[in-house]
Chains A and B, each alone.
Chain A
Amino acid sequence: MSIAAVERSVDRSVVKPLIAPKIGLEQTSVITTKDLSVYYRELEAIRSVSMTITSKAITALIGPSGCGKSTFLRTLNRMNDTVLGFSINGEVVVDGERIYSSNVDTIALRKKIGMVFQRPNPFPMSIIDNITWALTFHGIRRRDEREAIGVESLKRAGLWDEVCGRLKDPVFALSGGQQQRLCIARAIALQPTILLMDEPTSALDPIATRVVEDLMISLKEDYTVVLVSHNMEQAARVSDQTAFFLMGELVEYSATESMFSNPKNKTTEDYITGRFG
């Protein structure tokens, strides 16, 4: 089924792609770290962090710049592997598998763990190609199948209504917020179970931020979302669990509500009340 055909079928509101891709699986994923320390050469960026990230919930990682929250996030899908001098100590376990053991297939791991970055980083291709491109080398040979998945992903990311008539347009015709949602759609097209989001709204205006936040809340029905946020209001608004990092250490980790209403740690309180950071 071509894109045009998909568009037509949508117009007649019979939404039935040829192969109904399953976006949002029953499966849940659990991430656990045990005494995780991360080094860039001699610099210890993360010190002995042990935490379990709840599945199908949003876990926010907060803390001042340079506290290691982004490093921690990028350690979860091995995106730090390409960084020179990177090494770890301790364990990261995703669904019972130690992801830093030597026999782990990083390709499969990154397919299972989607990632969204600070700035929207679409490829300079058409809107639909941005999503279908990665599917080509993940074994989906048929073009119509890829495009059906692309359409489903756009719908799931709440972007479909805005782009349905112009899927072949270059991606830079989209606004920043739309590009970021496209990047989310691109990630979920691979049917991951975990989504890592590294300050996904930091380059967006308040309205686009709101839309992305609403999307995150709806995504947690299906995905385990780990969100790095610079913005404490955002963490308070969208997350279920919050982890406060400071100088590479996990200071406090608890349910968002209790952390923001009744922080156990004095430093946490100082940070969330805006006394530093």
Chain B
Amino acid sequence: MHQLPSKGKGATPSALSRSKMHETLLVGSVPDRVFKFVTATAAVVVLGLVSMIVFQLTTKSWESITRYGLAFITSDMWDPVFHEYGALPFIFGTVASSIIGLLIAVPASLGVAIFLSELAQKRIRRPVTFLVEVLASIPSVIYGLWGVFVLIPLIRSVQPFIQTRLGFLPFFQGPPFGYSLFTAGVILAIMIIPTITSLSRDALNAVPNHQREASLALGATRWETIWNVVLPYNKSGIIGAIMLGLGRALGETMAVTMVIGNQPEISMSIFMPAQTMASLIANEFNEATEAIHLSALIEIGFLLFLVTLTLNIIAKLLMIRVRGKGAHR
């Protein structure tokens, strides 16, 4: 509650005095007004920053947008020497590595979230939650280092084994580079597990207890209750959590750049190197001396920005539905 300024002794809260108080609150004393001005400025600056970014991205990439048009998205040639710029390999690399990441991260995160919200005892819940949060606070370059020195050698040694079993499928072919889409996917999965876990745990916590009781009282097992009642009750919240995780995966740069191999190729195999939009920008912006090259890179950035923005908006909308559900039931 706000501390109301108490002017007038023993004022009864009549309609008049209350409206007066309201006025005082809105206009405020001098320090109040200064405070309001400072916070409002901060809010405006944030808005201004976002519009500036959008403005810069469009103007700086305008040359490339007008020159290549839609071909920029559909072409798979990226050759700065001959000024041929097609973003398809990077779109592919971004989408494919993120999908691999999701395929690993979603079951793992939902498992942890279910454990934390439905099954674990309090004294286990705390440390596990803390560890998941620690996972989120590790800088991505460290994930990258870990990927290079631990994961890549591991994949190199495991890959031949997988290939003797599943090598006939095009998804698992290719020499054991280690630097690959799959490695990037695994790293991304580890990086987005905290996001998906904590948000979907919140979504599960928002499910009212009477739903669980209704199910248990009908002779449902714990598993049947979780799978058929608790999870579906807050489907939109969990989907929102997954989308925010996906948004993070799409934009992740450092760790991916270190392990994906950075080859602008579209390959069926998850064991082949690739390149994402973010890693391309990180790799090439330093050498982009010609205006059109820079413009093309910025257009890639613009595309990535649009995709993640859309995903985030959808996720936020889903989350709002979650909170509404938790509030009135």
Smallest Cβ distance from A181 to chain B, in angstroms? 15
Q: Which residue of B lies closest to A112 (CB)?
A: B219
> B220 — which chain A residues lie within 8 A by C-beta?
107, 134, 137
Q: How far is the CB of A193 from chain B (nearest CB, A)?
A: 13
Enumerate B119-174 residues with CB–CB distance to A below 8 Å: 121-122
Give residues of chain B (216-272) contacting chain A, Cβ–Cβ below 8 Å.
216-221, 224, 228-229, 232-233
Taking each of A79, A109, A137, A190, which has the highest tally of chain B beta carbons within 10 Å of its own beta carbon?
A: A137
Q: Does A6 contact B (CB under 8 A)?
A: no
CA distance A251 to B213 in the complex (A): 29
A92 to B219, CA, bound (A): 19
Chain B positions 191 through 220: 1 when the CB is less than 8 Å from some CB of chain A, otherwise 0: 000000000000000001011111111111
Q: Could you say which of B213, B217, B228 has the most chain A C-beta atoms within 10 Å of its C-beta?
A: B217
B218 interface neighbour in A82, A84, A187, Cβ under 8 Å:
A187
Q: Tell me, in angstroms, the Cα distance from A108 to B219 when the chains sit together.
A: 7
Residues of A within 8 A of B232 (CB): 124
Interface contact A133-B228, CB-CB below 8 Å: yes
Question: Contacts A124-B233, A133-B228 hold; do A117 and B218 have CB atoms under 8 A apart?
Answer: no
A-B contact count (CB 8 A): 57
**Contact for A137 among B208, B210, B224, CB less than 8 A:** B224
Counting CB contacts under 8 A, is A276 at the interface? no
Q: How far is the CA of A210 from the CA of B121 in the complex (A)?
A: 42
* Contact A111–B211 (Cβ < 8 Å): no
Chain B residues, CB < 8 A from A117: 210, 213-214, 217
Name the B residues within 8 Å of A115 (CB-CB). 217
- Nearest B residue to A196 by beta-carbon distance? B217
Q: Is the beta-carbon distance between B217 and A77 smaller than 8 angstroms?
A: yes
User: Given A84-B121, A84-B122, A137-B224, are A121 and B218 neighbors across the interface (CB < 8 Å)?
Assistant: no
Assign chain A's interface to a size class: 20 to 34
B219 neighbours in A (Cβ, 8 Å):
107-111, 134, 138, 190
State in angstroms the CA–CA spacing of A137 and B215 once bound together: 11
For the complex formed, measure the closest distance between the CB of B93 and the CB atoms of chain A, giving whole angstroms. Answer: 40
Chain A residues whose C-beta falls within 8 Å of the C-beta of B216 in the assembled complex: 79, 82, 110
* A121-B121 contact in complex given A107-B221, A115-B217, A187-B218, C-beta closer than 8 Å: no
- Bound complex: CA A108 to CA B215 (Å): 13
Residues of B within 8 A of A109 (CB): 219
Min CB distance B238 to A, Å, is 15
Q: How far is the CA of A114 from the CA of B218 in the complex (A)?
A: 7
Interface set, chain A 92-113, CB cutoff 8 A to B: 107-111
Question: A110-B219, A134-B219 are known contacts. Are A119 and B210 too (CB-CB below 8 A)?
Answer: yes
Whether a CB of chain B sits under 8 angstroms from the CB of A164 is: no
Q: Is the CB of A123 within 8 A of B214?
A: yes
Shortest Cβ distance from A172 into B: residue: B329
- B213-A121 in contact (CB<8A): yes
Q: How far is the CA of A134 from the CA of B220 in the complex (A)?
A: 7
The answer to whether A187 and B217 touch (CB under 8 A), given A84-B121, A133-B228, is yes
Q: Is residue A38 within 8 Å, beta carbon to beta carbon, of the partner chain?
A: no
Give chain A interface residues in 129-162, CB to chain B under 8 Å: 133-134, 137-138
User: What distance in Å separates the Cβ of A212 from its nearest Cβ neighbour in chain B?
Assistant: 17
Known pairs A107-B219, A133-B228; A123 contacts B211 (CB<8 A): yes
- Assess whether A121 is in contact with B210, with CB atoms less than 8 Å apart: yes
Query: Whole-angstrom distance from the CB of A240 to the nearest CB of chain B?
Result: 24
Given contacts A123-B229, A124-B233, contact A186 B218 (CB under 8 A): yes
A183 located at the interface, meaning its Cβ lies under 8 Å from any Cβ of chain B in the complex: yes
> By the criterion CB–CB under 8 Å, are B122 and A190 in contact?
no
Residue of A nearest to B222 (CB): A82
| A124→B214 CA distance, assembly (Å) | 12
A117 to B214, CA, bound (A): 8
User: Which residues of A are found within 8 Å of B217, using beta-carbon distances?
Assistant: 77, 79, 110, 114-115, 117, 187
Q: In the complex the two chains form, what is the Cα distance from A122 to B212 in whole Å?
A: 11
A157 to chain B, nearest CB (A): 15
The minimal Cβ–Cβ distance linking B101 to chain A, given in whole angstroms, is: 31
- In the bound complex, residues from chain A placing their C-beta under 8 Å from that of B210 are 117, 119, 121
Decide: A183 near B221, CB < 8 A? Known: A84-B122, A124-B233: no
By a CB distance below 8 angstroms, the chain B residues around A79 are 213, 216-217
The answer for the CA separation of A108 and B218 in the assembled complex, in Å, is 9
Check B122 against A183 for contact (C-beta < 8 Å).
no
Question: Can you list 16 residue pairs at the A/B interface with Cβ under 8 Å?
Answer: A79-B213, A82-B216, A107-B221, A110-B216, A110-B218, A111-B218, A115-B217, A117-B217, A121-B210, A121-B211, A124-B233, A133-B218, A134-B215, A134-B219, A183-B214, A186-B214
- Which residues of B are in contact with A by a Cβ distance under 8 Å? 121-122, 208, 210-221, 224, 228-229, 232-233
A134-B219, A137-B221, A186-B214 are known; give 12 further A-B pairs, CB within 8 A.
Answer: A77-B217, A79-B213, A107-B219, A110-B217, A114-B217, A117-B217, A123-B233, A124-B232, A124-B233, A137-B220, A138-B219, A183-B214
Enumerate the 5 nearest inter-chain pairs by beta-carbon distance, A residue then B residue, closest first: A111-B219, A134-B218, A115-B217, A121-B210, A110-B219
